[in-house]
Structure 1
């Protein structure tokens, strides 16, 4: 391959000296100086910018850049001093600003032309000699000789602040002119804008809003004050968007927030007759929303609202759950709780942007005061019982679901969920056995919700109750199929076979059933025990119902739906005209408390008085005498005689239920202790208490004293032992 030789060219410098006119620099500068004067005198149309550019170019080329630059500074300074005097002579207010703005526009236009003429100097000499570029030089000189002029600087600031003050008091100002002036300050550098305008503006604003907020707080209610604060905040943000630097917004809003909101927060929320509590009571969503959005802008603002709301809720809830009048009606008691929850949920969703911290505060408040009343679990169960027995008039399935979901919210707040379970089981049993449930779907839906919340163990017995009801139907169908010939025309029997353990049945004294009923009961017992080996039947007469046909005076016939106890009482009057309380008690052996309720419902309820009582009164005494009421009439053929029962437990019943709950808790606490010790092997007393509490808190809060007793019991039974060196340390015995 042949290589090609590169040819190298070299440009040599002139070998002879080039001579210039000694007056060249002065003469050339005079041309450029004249051009600058013409530009400032608005005679630029007469100039040839091409020639001027070439002239300036040649001066730089001939090393006269310094003279060109210094001449420019001197000429601009001279013109700016002249402009300053022109501006100083302008009248106050808008005319002053208009003059300043006009001269600023002229100066910028002149700078643009001068920069074009001196472009070569700007690109070569200025960077190499570390000089200020032409345009920036013009701005700096404007700043020094115009803006910082002793006769202009203070006047400019006072004029701007005065116009803003006038705008704050409702006057209309020239925002376009204000925008031009503040933009000028920004163009001169952020430090000029900040030092010459922004800092004084913020200081004046702080004093203005400090005084105004004091006037507002003395003369306005809380709602009106918040409206004024919101308006002022919006005005300042609007002012920034129209004629101030965007970065000023956060600074001026911070001033307004501090002076109008932060400095008066406590007084606002606690203001008499209009503060936060009154807003919550009166559902003032707009005012609450305004307070939330304003207080959110300042440190500790939302926590201030939350603290006051929490204190109010806890006190209101405490009064509600301890009010003796409300405790008389459990359904109304729970409905009040639900209404309070709905009310404050709506406030949080509508006014507080569904803020989770507020929702948590609401939940903790409800949990606090619901558990102040140890009857809350019973009352919530009674409320569910009421809704699932009577139903919601005209309500769809979806609406029933909504009610059940709301009840579940209250259920979550309960610390003693096992107490609720105990009562719920009793109430569910009564609904199922009396056939008074509004719908099986609603019942099963409630159980699904409880299972989702607490797990399978919580609802296994409740589900077993439904299984027993289905099995009982099949059993009775088989019984009548096989025994129809033997039964004849006697009384018919419908038996529900309840599995011990699944149902809340308690041993109850045997009631003396009428002979006619006793016969068919014995036939069923024989059939059932013959079909199922190794089982035992115990009659729960306190849980049954009966339909009786009765004939009254003038041959009027009715079909009475009564409880088993009521049936036993009424059947006595087939062979007796009048019976004393004592005679009825001896004949039936019904427990005294149940018998009195039974007789009350038969003799003391208007429209259902199958019996007459002497003497007539609402209460039953042991000296009363009862007669069959021949004069009873009703427009219905079928008459349902309800039993007068206490909607809530009496004090002895309550104590009995509490005792059963405490007994049921013992094995649960022991099981938790064993689980913990089996995995940890060695643990101190306080750690066991903490872990047992953590494990069981979804059902109940175990008492540390009870936990200690269960530990002692496990030690006695040799599941655990104490450490010989440290008595507070326990070991698991495998």
Structure 2
């Protein structure tokens, strides 16, 4: 078997040797130049792009890249100059259309040229740091067309005229404007800025300056702001539709400067329609518009806050110094609450609940509320009225809302310890008279006070409520163990823990025999269950219910004080008693007795006694009789005690008690700080004491300094030998 070898025949393609020379490059460039002319003349359909690409490729390959590049620049430039002439001679109505048409032609031609010369763009241009073809085309268009003397100014003016016509309400070809501005943006931001944006901003400034002057002369503040808002919205729509988005901020800034910033103070203080007028009339929409528009100006919100704060403070000062309003504490506090609701709603709805506006509102109220030294007492009296008489026709949720509003005013008080002093007295009277509308409401307010000021602030109040509960249980135990007490007069005793209830002087009097016997049985029962305790009777704080018969069988149930009960029960055994006889029998203090007799004999509709001789005052020679002609539509008749006007000594005594408490609290605060720090400088100690006590009262630096000196005298603190401004704690 023989092996036959196969022969393989290889035929190589014919290779024409190209010898590059100047003649070759000229001939090749003529072909490419002709193609570029054909492209710009819209005759590209007959061109062989593959052959053209190969020719451009060979020129770069054989080192004729510079000739190709410079020839491209020259040829494109010649066509662009022809385009510029066509645009320049265009009529006014077709100028922009001709320009955008030539731009589109140039862009399409540039893309085809770029495809033909892609090899040059990939190799020659990067290595020789030449401008890429597309960027080159944009540059040549800018230099030869846009920056042409007769086109540049005409283009700017034409665009500005169109925008001016649109601002005047005319319809314009917005799509054409959009295409022109897009062309300018494609040429670069500097071109867009020089040709269009800068002239636009200048024209806009002049337009809005004139518009603002026209509007501010004929419009009130609210209408002016509406027009500004409308113009901003229109300008925003215009930018979004056919202008560069970067122009939005610039144009808006021009509008805001000319229409808001330059007239801001005039708008705020505009007579009968400015900021104060809007605040007084609760114009939420106008205030909200002012807040939003002025927020575009650097210090716009600051100006609004300053005027708002000034207005609130001035109106608040008028309120707290109005002598007529101060006559009724409840009305006074209700007006404060109404004012706080009013401006709180404005801040929330119109000023977007801005934190800085909230701070300004709170600081304004804090300022003028503390101008009236009676504010702590009046707020306590307001709470007393609501919790004593109730909030008629409202739910428990509404009660909570009212208490929350009161707590807002309480937070503004600098002298919270004064409020505590008055509130404790008012709470005691409510509890002892059984006139609180709801234990839950009382507890709720105490919880709010504890949250705001801490446990120590409310500890006495909580003990008072607890004493009431304990007293109720004690009385139930008394009657359960003494069944004989069910028949006859009944006694209800409230035991107060000494030191937690408001300080009361123990005023004694001679109780009727029946009541005195019941009191002794209670004393025996209570002390039998609680060893080591001591009871003292506060007869000046008690109440009684008496059944009385007048004239021809007219029956009534009288609700009276303990003192009044003692006086009335004397008439069970006498038809007439002199003032001196009543005084000897009851041993009620003179001032209290006279007020008691005035309430029983001289108050119309409550005069269960009659006095001879008749006069407005009670004298020692007066005689008293049962008023047999007394009548009332109500079966139950409450006879209050004539109010005793608060005297200067009493007010001074209250302040003295508060000042004494403050001294003790300052001492305690200083010792706490010094125990913790051991050494501290004077100004730092003053600052820390003030901060620690601000939840109760605003400590006066002079008072703190005096307490420091007192502690030094008592060898609790000492000055540092090397630095007299520094204190040391003496362990």
> What TM-score does the superposition give when structure 2 sets the normalisation length?
0.91
Residue 715 of structure 2, aligned match among 704, 713, 718: 718
Deviation at 1:606, TM superposition (A): 5.0
Partner of 1:491: 489
Alpha-carbon contact 1:677-1:732 (below 8 Å) kept:
yes
Partner of 1:10: none
Secondary structure (helix, strand or coil) at the match of 2:150 reads: coil
State yes or no: 1:29 paired with 2:64. Answer: no
Q: Deviations over 1:71-95 (max 9, x none)?
A: 3222222221221121112222x52
Deviation at 1:670, TM superposition (A): 1.6
Q: Deviations over 1:421-440 (max 9, x none)?
A: 11111111111111111111
Deviation at 1:499, TM superposition (A): 1.0
Secondary structure (helix, strand or coil) at the match of 1:239 reads: helix
Q: What is the rounded CA distance, in whole Å, between the counterparts of 2:184 and 2:614 in structure 1?
A: 99
User: Cα gap change, 1:141/1:683 in structure 2, threshold over 3 Å: closer, same or farther?
Assistant: closer
Instruction: Count residues with an aligned counterpart.
Output: 717
Secondary structure (helix, strand or coil) at the match of 1:546 reads: strand
Deviation at 1:368, TM superposition (A): 1.2
| Root mean square deviation, CA, Å | 2.7
Partner of 1:434: 433
Deviation at 1:181, TM superposition (A): 0.4
Partner of 1:638: 636
User: Cα gap change, 1:696/1:574 in structure 2, threshold over 3 Å: closer, same or farther?
Assistant: same
Q: What is the rounded CA distance, in whole Å, between the counterparts of 2:675 and 2:127 in structure 1?
A: 84
Alpha-carbon contact 1:672-1:695 (below 8 Å) kept:
yes
Q: Mapping of 1:419-498 within 5 angstroms?
A: 419-485=418-484, 487=485, 489-498=487-496
Partner of 1:7: none
Secondary structure (helix, strand or coil) at the match of 2:552 reads: helix
Q: What is the rounded CA distance, in whole Å, between the counterparts of 1:43 and 1:590 in structure 2?
A: 127
Comparing 603-612 with 221-230, greater Cα deviation is found at 603-612
Q: What is the rounded CA distance, in whole Å, between the counterparts of 1:564 and 1:244 in structure 2?
A: 89
Deviation at 1:377, TM superposition (A): 1.0
Alpha-carbon contact 2:410-2:416 (below 8 Å) kept:
yes
User: Cα gap change, 1:177/1:625 in structure 2, threshold over 3 Å: closer, same or farther?
Assistant: farther
Deviation at 1:729, TM superposition (A): 5.2
Partner of 1:114: 113
Partner of 2:564: 566
User: Cα gap change, 1:506/1:149 in structure 2, threshold over 3 Å: closer, same or farther?
Assistant: same
State yes or no: 1:76 paired with 2:73. Answer: no
Q: What is the rounded CA distance, in whole Å, between the counterparts of 1:101 and 1:684 in structure 2?
A: 79
Q: Deviations over 1:283-338 (max 9, x none)?
A: 11111111111121221111111111111111121211121111111111111111
Q: Mapping of 1:111-150 within 5 angstroms?
A: 111-150=110-149
Q: Deviations over 1:663-720 (max 9, x none)?
A: 2222212222222333344445444433322221211122334334433433443333
Q: What is the rounded CA distance, in whole Å, between the counterparts of 2:706 and 2:165 in structure 1?
A: 79
Q: Mapping of 1:296-695 within 5 angstroms?
A: 296-485=295-484, 487=485, 489-577=487-575, 587-591=585-589, 594-595=592-593, 597-603=595-601, 605-612=603-610, 620=617, 622=619, 627-645=625-643, 649=646, 651-695=648-692
Partner of 2:162: 163
Comparing 679-688 with 468-477, greater Cα deviation is found at 679-688
Comparing 345-354 with 563-572, greater Cα deviation is found at 563-572
Q: What is the rounded CA distance, in whole Å, between the counterparts of 2:217 and 2:581 in structure 1?
A: 79
Q: What is the rounded CA distance, in whole Å, between the counterparts of 2:363 and 2:678 in structure 1?
A: 36
Q: What is the rounded CA distance, in whole Å, between the counterparts of 2:323 and 2:583 in structure 1?
A: 35
Deviation at 1:480, TM superposition (A): 2.5
Residue 702 of structure 1, aligned match among 696, 699, 702: 699
Comparing 658-667 with 510-519, greater Cα deviation is found at 510-519
Q: What is the rounded CA distance, in whole Å, between the counterparts of 2:170 and 2:281 in structure 1?
A: 37
Secondary structure (helix, strand or coil) at the match of 1:562 reads: strand
Q: Deviations over 1:408-452 (max 9, x none)?
A: 111111111111111111111111111111111111111111111
Partner of 1:100: 99
Partner of 1:255: 254
Deviation at 1:530, TM superposition (A): 4.1
Partner of 1:91: 91
Deviation at 1:558, TM superposition (A): 1.4
Q: What is the rounded CA distance, in whole Å, between the counterparts of 1:387 and 1:417 in structure 2?
A: 20
Q: What is the rounded CA distance, in whole Å, between the counterparts of 1:604 and 1:154 in structure 2?
A: 100
Q: Deviations over 1:536-577 (max 9, x none)?
A: 222112211111001122312111122222223333443455
Q: What is the rounded CA distance, in whole Å, between the counterparts of 2:722 and 2:138 in structure 1?
A: 87
Q: Deviations over 1:366-394 (max 9, x none)?
A: 11111111111111111111111122122
Alpha-carbon contact 1:599-1:620 (below 8 Å) kept:
no
Partner of 1:41: 41
Alpha-carbon contact 1:548-1:559 (below 8 Å) kept:
yes
Q: Deviations over 1:15-55 (max 9, x none)?
A: 99744686444343333333323322223333333333333
Q: What is the rounded CA distance, in whole Å, between the counterparts of 2:597 and 2:168 in structure 1?
A: 81
User: Cα gap change, 1:488/1:313 in structure 2, threshold over 3 Å: closer, same or farther?
Assistant: closer
User: Cα gap change, 1:655/1:126 in structure 2, threshold over 3 Å: closer, same or farther?
Assistant: same
User: Cα gap change, 1:19/1:455 in structure 2, threshold over 3 Å: closer, same or farther?
Assistant: closer
Consecutive unaligned residues of structure 1, counting only runs of 5 or more, are: 1-13
Alpha-carbon contact 2:479-2:486 (below 8 Å) kept:
no
Q: What is the rounded CA distance, in whole Å, between the counterparts of 1:88 and 1:626 in structure 2?
A: 120
Alpha-carbon contact 1:269-1:276 (below 8 Å) kept:
yes
